[in-house]
């Protein structure tokens, strides 16, 4: 089955430092979504990337989709304590079935004040 690798598993940063999490797939993806889950909360949709090489920004968050559509990254500039949580990628293959929306294992971000 489709494998979605997400690294790192954990990341501790000092407030103000940057943070990046990476998602890699063994197969070409139709699209990729990113979600954020606060401690004790539920996953909340952040963004969806569809096009090869696509880059989208949301304030301090920058999302990239690789040229080969097999990898993606989420970069946070100048982290704040409100960024604490686990960031998941969710990758979808060209089969189109929701079953193929595979979540990565997540990167748990801790921001130290």
Partner 1 sequence: DAGVIQSPRHEVTEMGQEVTLRCKPISGHDYLFWYRQTMMRGLELLIYFNNNVPIDDSGMPEDRFSAKMPNASFSTLKIQPSEPRDSAVYFCASSLQVTDTQYFGPGTRLTVL
Min separation Cβ 43 and partner 1, Å: 5
Rg of the Cα atoms in the chain: 14
CB of 113 to partner 1, least distance (A): 26
- Residue (13 or 101) nearer to partner 1, CB: 101
Query: Which CB atom, from 79 or from 92, has the smaller least distance to partner 1?
Result: 92
DSSP-assigned letter for residue 104: P
In the complex, which residues of this chain contact partner 1 (CB under 8 A)? 30-31, 33, 41-45, 48, 88, 92, 96-99, 101, 103-106
Stretch (H or E) spanning 42: none
Strand order in the sheet with 4-7: 4-7, 19-25, 71-76, 61-65, 55-58
Q: How far is the CB of 17 from partner 1 (least distance, A)?
A: 26
Query: Considering beta carbons, is residue 79 or 86 the nearer one to partner 1?
Result: 86
Cis ω before 8 (30° cut-off from 0): yes
């Amino acid at each position: 089955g489709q494998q979605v690798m997400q690294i790192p598993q954990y990341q501790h940063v000092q407030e103000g430092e940057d943070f990046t999490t990476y998602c890699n797939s063994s197969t070409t993806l139709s699209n990729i979504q990113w979600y954020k889950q606060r401690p004790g909360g539920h996953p909340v949709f952040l963004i969806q990337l569809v096009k090869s090489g696509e880059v989208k920004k949301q304030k301090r968050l920058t999302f990239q989709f690789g040229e080969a559509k097999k990898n993606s990254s989420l970069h946070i500039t100048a982290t704040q304590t409100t960024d604490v949580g686990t960031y998941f990628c969710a990758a979808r293959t060209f089969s189109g079935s929701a079953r193929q929306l595979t979540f990565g294992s997540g990167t748990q971000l801790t921001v130290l004040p």
